[in-house]
Amino acid sequence: EAYVEAMKEDLAEWLNALYSLGLPSGGDGFLAGLATGTALCQHANAVTEAARALAASRPARGVAFQAHSVAPGSFVARDNVATFIGWCRAELGVPEVLMFETEDLVLRKNEKSVVLCLLEVARRGARLGLLAPRLVQFEQEIERELRATPPAPNNPAIGEDPTEAAPATGASTRGPRMTPSDLRNLDELPPCLCPDQFPMIKVSEGKYRVGGFQPAHLCAGMVRVGGGWDTLEHYPGTKHDPC
């Protein structure tokens, strides 16, 4: 799916910025580059160290893994990936619905599950002050904007679980930022051929109004939809466009 490819590009840029991995961002190269599990376990330990530095309660333990001469698809590679998955469950508390299995990565059986899990791991790390992918940074900006907006009298704000949503004490609410390198211009997208088209009007940086509906938040050609993301090309047609 197009939005999975966009997320893979963002995650590749993020991991390359953190660890200078040289991961390719397109096609099968991203998951192939992670198939040994070494980069994943390396990141697990980085998140654990960040938690210790802030005296956060979780994750409390890092992982032991084989880092050298690991062949993709080998027993050691599978063990590294399984170790990372176990850490996500036990130490980071990633919900089961966002988890993936070893074969999903090693054999590329379900890349969507891998991508969604890595995004959630990135969110948890960002709350501890680690660099976050641009999509996660944008989610944080939206959350800050929503918190700064006074709730309507008859629509009080819904409380959040502080252990899940709030940054750890001492962690920057903004954290380090990635510099956008491939933000696509709206005029680069293929034009809509519908006879009745909805106008897309820029409201502010990263926010556009589609037709007469509430503003949509955009980042790198992706649209924030509820708790997830959709591609800009797909969003108008499925949500608003009569065609």
Residue 229: which CATH number? 3.30.920.20
Contact 208, 221 (CB under 8 A): no
Q: Pick from 90, 112, 134: which residue ends a domain?
A: 134
Distance CA 64, CA 83 (A): 8
pLDDT, position 187: 44
Q: Pick from 91, 106, 134: which residue ends a domain?
A: 134
**Would residue 160 count as lying in a domain?**
no
Distance CA 80, CA 194 (A): 50
| Same-domain pairing of 37 and 113 | yes
**Would residue 163 count as lying in a domain?**
no
**Would residue 219 count as lying in a domain?**
yes
pLDDT, position 232: 53
pLDDT, position 186: 43
Domain housing 59: 2-134
**Would residue 181 count as lying in a domain?**
no
Phi/psi for 60 (5° steps) reads -95, -25
Side chain identity, residue 90: A
Q: In 3D, which of 128, 130, 140 has the Cα closest to residue 169?
A: 128
Q: What is the pLDDT along the chain (243 residues), one digit of tens a residue?
A: 788 998 999 999 999 999 999 999 878 899 999 999 999 999 999 999 999 999 999 999 999 999 999 999 999 999 999 999 999 999 999 999 999 999 999 999 999 999 999 999 999 999 999 999 999 998 888 888 888 877 766 655 545 544 455 566 566 555 666 655 444 444 444 555 555 555 555 555 555 555 554 444 454 455 555 455 555 554 454 454 544
Report in angstroms the alpha-carbon separations of 138 from 20, 47, 82, 216, 241: 23, 20, 30, 12, 25
57 Rama class: left (phi>0) / alpha (psi -120 to 50) / beta: alpha
pLDDT, position 87: 99
Q: What is the pLDDT of residues 166-178, one digit of tens each?
A: 566 566 555 666 6
**Would residue 144 count as lying in a domain?**
no
CATH number of the domain enclosing 20: 1.10.418.10
Phi/psi for 139 (5° steps) reads -60, -40
| Same-domain pairing of 6 and 122 | yes
Rg (CA), the chain: 19
The fraction of the chain above a pLDDT of 90, given in percent, is 52
Distance CA 30, CA 22 (A): 10
pLDDT, position 216: 47
pTM over 0.85: no
**Would residue 52 count as lying in a domain?**
yes
